[in-house]
A and B are shown apart, each in its own frame.
Chain A
Amino acid sequence: MKRFLWIFLAVSLFSLVWVGNVFAQKPTPSDDEVNAVASQMFCPVCENTPLDVCPTQACAQWRELIRTKLSEGWNADQIKQYFATQYGVRVLAEPPRQGLNWLVYIVPPFLIVIGVYILFRAFRSMHTVNQLAGGETEPNGPATDEYTSRIEEELKKRN
């Protein structure tokens, strides 16, 4: 009797899994869902061509692979990681933030900050020079834009 109970439980469990399997399966991802992931990657063969628009047969197959992975429940990050492992990090639209790659993200802001600092120093020294000169702007007076001045004056006269 006890043995039949175990068999009954096992059959019930199997039935549940079998019937519920349809709910666990995801619908086939649409082209748009596939492209949303593919657009974040580059073709591993044709350099500088995004994967979602690359017309080669190989890329069509890779897009189908993305569809399969999506239907298996993978998310975009996991798929990107999978492609990076398989074909190298060059498939990613941006270098991963690790090791030497950090330089991509650090160097430009660093240089821009230096540029801003130089400009700031130039403005500050200009301010100091003006103060030392007793606030005088220029030996010959302010070099205003003569053209603008004329227009402004004309406007004042006419208003």
Chain B
Amino acid sequence: MVEDFGYGVLILSFILAIYAIGSAVYGYVHRSQKWVESSRLAMQLTFPILTLSVISLIYLLVNDQYHVAFVYEVTSRSMPMYLKITSLWGGQSGSLVFWAWLMAAFSTAVSLRKWDRDREFLPWVVVVTSLTMAFFVGLVIFYENPFLQYWKSFSGDVISAMFQPAGSAFFAPTDGRGLNPLLRHPGMVIHPPMLYLGFVSFVIPFAFAIAALVTGRTDDRWIRITRRWTIIAWTFLSLGLVLGGRWAYDVLGWGGYWGWDPVEISAFMPWLTGTAFLHSVMIQEKRGMLKYWNMLLIILTYALVIFGTFLTRSGVLSSVHAFAQSAIGPAFFIFIGITFVTSVALLIYRWADLKAESQMTSMLSREALFLLNNLLFMSILVVCFWGVIFPLISELVTGQKITVGPPFYKNATGPLFAALVLLMGIAPLSAWGHSTLKTLGQAMWKPLIASLVVMVIIFFGFDIRQPYALIGFFVIFTSAFITIYEFWRAARARSRAQKENILLALWRLAGRNRRRYGGYIIHLAIVCMSLGIIGIEMFQTQTQGTIAQGQSLQLDGYTVTYKDLAVFDTNDNRNVARAVLTVSKNGQFLTELYPRRDYYYESQQPMTIPGVRSTMADDLYVILVDWQPILSSGATFKIYHNPLVNWLWLGSIILIFGSIVAGWPDKEVEIVPARVRRNQIAGSAVGQQVD
């Protein structure tokens, strides 16, 4: 009954979305506000309607309704309540419902804004968001229905269908197969929603961009409206990626966080274009330039969002992150093709209206450096995109399967990332319009000297001689010191002018220009993350060995001694093998670690849980690889020493803080274009403005 209701409201939401598209187009063509308003109301209604469908599915999941195929596949009686709820996105069909529901939530949220000054955008925003939502709801209804039930035919075959086939009877298994063990991790509970939120919220700026192209209102208004949406989207996507990395680090048992897996990359690609977009829209706001480019970037971001979802769900790629083989691939392919071609056609149609309002005047101006930043992001995108699709092309042309693995990506993107981090430090120092080497040098020389001092300490104090690591550290510290120096200069100026405590001055300064200082905080977060990445990528060491109880393995000064091992069954249908190890350094006991291997009886899948000793300096990460039934014969352990890796996670926390600061609503009046505001400010006294 609940499943019928859930499916019914799903169909209703699909009809509403289609109606919203139709009435919005009709309203726009016939200039009828009533039809446009009706489309907005229809779009708003999809959210509560889809919520009912989601609630129905959650009800089935938590109440062990195993006659529903999806419930049987992703839950079991032994699973705790929170995992039963979150298994909504643990399988293909449930996650598509979840995607569509988030899309409905964002569409409704955007429809609730005041449209007084932008009413012409409304119908096309409704069309784009409703079309995206209708596509996902359509996939659920026609291909991946989570409400399918099991029926047993008289011949004994179990089939899944929405309604009872003739000659069959109701069938309900007593227990389900349970969620994939790899997905039973707190990181995996939060990671998919974050990623989906990032994907879905990027649809909003895309919808406004399309609205701007269709209506011909191609000034920077659409960018100003969607600025906060873009920051929100970027933050969620960044968090999704970082949480995915943390999940891999904790669960996949290979001592790393990023394996350049095609599905990881497919979530990373919209982040690249989204980050480029976040930077280049500033050029349009400040200088009225790069209008086509911004349009193209947001079109690409949207296409990559759908493309990434397609790669994960269509079954064209195999990965630990991917869902099973599915028939939805062609539908995705057609949708991506139609939306991309239409968007680009619109862009070409409006090409003449998107001319720059001013010229670039200096190669060292901020806009020029931002353009260089965009080039670097796009270069990384090219490498990633080509690396992901080439194996498909190769298989299609030659029939031969190939792997494009980490060495390719690391070699190709490493220098580009280093250049980006350096540019991240330098670009904010240059002024809009015009900068010279002299002005840049004046702002940079002190941080540059500080970073050279640090390099000397690293070289002689820590005995690090690897050239690439030294270059990496130099780039990171230069960027960090420049950013910190920027904070310091501004805070000191305000502190002296206003006779304020330096911290209070910093707080108020950031409060007056949240976007700028939020951006700086994000830059510092990226610096921290880069430090962690260099640590693990360039200084990770590992060893593996089979040892008997009482014996030890050595790695980078650490001694890991095998004390004990216990094998036992748990109440939630797991067989656990858990080792006890002691860790010491220079003869001093540090901690005990408990690496283990869980075997899930329901899904017949093992899961490796490392034992980790974490500090800001390093992680000692131990995996139980194998063990003998008779304990004295020993067990095999793999030990990784991961220097600086926790800076990566610390950086991600700072990134959230920076994003909140950058995205927090300013008191500034948004409607005044920047160039007009600049002229107003120029006429005001400096003291008043700083205040």
**A residues whose Cβ falls under 8 Å from a Cβ of B:** 30-32, 35, 42, 47-50, 53, 55, 60, 88-95, 99-101, 103-104, 107-108, 111-112, 115-116, 119, 122-123, 126-127, 129-130, 137-138, 140, 142-151, 153-155, 158
* Contact A119–B371 (Cβ < 8 Å): yes
* Contact B434–A88 (Cβ < 8 Å): no
Q: Which residues of B contact A31 (CB under 8 A)?
A: 543-546, 636, 638
Q: Which residues of B contact A60 (CB under 8 A)?
A: 626
1/0 per position for B254-290, CB-CB distance to A under 8 A?
A: 1100010110000000000000000000000011000
Q: A107-B386, A115-B378, A150-B689 are in contact. Are A48 and B403 (CB under 8 A)?
A: yes
Most buried by B among A42, A88, A147: A147
* Contact B542–A32 (Cβ < 8 Å): yes
* Contact A42–B689 (Cβ < 8 Å): no
A138 to B379, CA, bound (A): 31
* Contact A104–B542 (Cβ < 8 Å): no
Q: Which of B286, B358, B360, B378 contacts A123 (CB 8 A)?
A: B360
Q: Which of B25-33, B170-178, B303-311, B678-686 interfaces with chain A? A: B678-686
Say yes or no: is B326 at the interface (Cβ < 8 Å to chain A): no
A145 to B400, CA, bound (A): 55
A127 to B387, CA, bound (A): 36
Q: Which residues of B contact A107 (CB under 8 A)?
A: 382, 386
Q: Which of A32, A104, A116, A146 contacts B386 (CB 8 A)?
A: A104
The smallest C-beta distance from B420 to any residue of chain A, in angstroms, reads 13
The smallest C-beta distance from B27 to any residue of chain A, in angstroms, reads 40
CB-based closest 3 A-B pairs:
A143-B433, A93-B405, A31-B544
* Contact B686–A92 (Cβ < 8 Å): no
* Contact B403–A90 (Cβ < 8 Å): yes
Q: Which of B400, B497, B546, B608 contacts A88 (CB 8 A)?
A: B400
Say yes or no: is B552 at the interface (Cβ < 8 Å to chain A): no
* Contact B606–A55 (Cβ < 8 Å): yes
A42 to B402, CA, bound (A): 10
Q: Which residues of B contact A93 (CB under 8 A)?
A: 403, 405-408
Say yes or no: is B320 at the interface (Cβ < 8 Å to chain A): yes
A130 to B433, CA, bound (A): 12
* Contact A104–B408 (Cβ < 8 Å): yes
A55 to B546, CA, bound (A): 16
**B residues whose Cβ falls under 8 Å from a Cβ of A:** 252-255, 259, 261-262, 286-287, 317-320, 358-363, 366, 368, 371-372, 375, 378-379, 382-383, 386-387, 390, 393-394, 397-398, 400-408, 412, 431-434, 489-490, 492-494, 496-497, 513, 516, 542-546, 606, 608, 626, 636, 638, 675, 678-679, 681-682, 686, 689-690
* Contact A155–B489 (Cβ < 8 Å): yes
The smallest C-beta distance from B317 to any residue of chain A, in angstroms, reads 8
The smallest C-beta distance from B439 to any residue of chain A, in angstroms, reads 9
* Contact A47–B319 (Cβ < 8 Å): yes
* Contact B366–A55 (Cβ < 8 Å): no
A50 to B371, CA, bound (A): 37
Of all chain A residues, the one with the shortest Cβ separation from B253 is: A53
Q: A42-B405, A48-B259 are in contact. Are A145 and B390 (CB under 8 A)?
A: no
Q: Which residues of A contact B286 (CB under 8 A)?
A: 143
Most buried by B among A42, A127, A149, A150: A150
Q: Which of A48, A100, A130, A146 contacts B361 (CB 8 A)?
A: A130
Q: Which residues of A contact B394 (CB under 8 A)?
A: 95, 100-101
* Contact B431–A145 (Cβ < 8 Å): yes
Q: Which residues of A contact B368 (CB under 8 A)?
A: 123
* Contact B382–A112 (Cβ < 8 Å): yes
A30 to B545, CA, bound (A): 8
* Contact B386–A108 (Cβ < 8 Å): yes
* Contact B320–A32 (Cβ < 8 Å): no
Q: Which residues of A contact B405 (CB under 8 A)?
A: 42, 48, 50, 93-94
* Contact A100–B678 (Cβ < 8 Å): no
* Contact A94–B404 (Cβ < 8 Å): yes
* Contact A153–B254 (Cβ < 8 Å): no
* Contact B253–A48 (Cβ < 8 Å): no
* Contact A35–B544 (Cβ < 8 Å): yes
Of all chain A residues, the one with the shortest Cβ separation from B264 is: A48
Q: A32-B544, A55-B606, A107-B382 are in contact. List 12 more A-B contacts (CB 8 A).
A: A35-B542, A88-B400, A89-B401, A90-B400, A90-B401, A93-B407, A104-B386, A129-B359, A142-B431, A143-B675, A144-B432, A147-B513
**What are 19 A-to-B residue pairs whose CB atoms are below 8 Å?**
A31-B543, A31-B544, A31-B546, A42-B403, A47-B319, A89-B402, A92-B402, A93-B405, A94-B404, A107-B382, A111-B379, A122-B371, A138-B358, A143-B358, A143-B432, A145-B433, A150-B690, A155-B489, A158-B497
Q: Which residues of A contact B546 (CB under 8 A)?
A: 31
Q: Which residues of A contact B431 (CB under 8 A)?
A: 142, 144-145, 148-149
A130 to B434, CA, bound (A): 12
The smallest C-beta distance from B253 to any residue of chain A, in angstroms, reads 7
A103 to B402, CA, bound (A): 13
* Contact A154–B686 (Cβ < 8 Å): yes
Q: A101-B394, A119-B375, A151-B490 are in contact. Are A137 and B433 (CB under 8 A)?
A: yes
Most buried by B among A88, A89, A104: A104
A137 to B690, CA, bound (A): 27
Q: Which of A103, A111, A146, A155 contacts B681 (CB 8 A)?
A: A146
A29 to B493, CA, bound (A): 64
Of all chain B residues, the one with the shortest Cβ separation from A43 is: B403
Q: Which residues of A contact B494 (CB under 8 A)?
A: 154
Of all chain B residues, the one with the shortest Cβ separation from A93 is: B405
* Contact B432–A122 (Cβ < 8 Å): no
* Contact A145–B490 (Cβ < 8 Å): no
Of all chain B residues, the one with the shortest Cβ separation from A155 is: B493
The smallest C-beta distance from B685 to any residue of chain A, in angstroms, reads 10
A122 to B393, CA, bound (A): 33
Q: Which residues of A contact B638 (CB under 8 A)?
A: 31, 35
Q: Which residues of A contact B544 (CB under 8 A)?
A: 30-32, 35
* Contact B382–A100 (Cβ < 8 Å): no
Most buried by A among B403, B492, B516, B542: B403
Most buried by B among A30, A93, A99, A129: A93
* Contact A142–B434 (Cβ < 8 Å): yes
A99 to B402, CA, bound (A): 13
* Contact B493–A151 (Cβ < 8 Å): yes
A116 to B318, CA, bound (A): 34
Of all chain B residues, the one with the shortest Cβ separation from A39 is: B542
Q: Which residues of A contact B433 (CB under 8 A)?
A: 137-138, 142-145
Q: Which residues of A contact B262 (CB under 8 A)?
A: 48
A147 to B259, CA, bound (A): 42
Most buried by B among A88, A95, A143: A143
* Contact B497–A111 (Cβ < 8 Å): no
A32 to B686, CA, bound (A): 65
Q: Which residues of A contact B254 (CB under 8 A)?
A: 50, 53
Q: Which residues of A contact B492 (CB under 8 A)?
A: 155
Most buried by B among A48, A150, A154: A48
Q: Which residues of A contact B318 (CB under 8 A)?
A: 47-48
Of all chain B residues, the one with the shortest Cβ separation from A107 is: B386
A101 to B402, CA, bound (A): 9
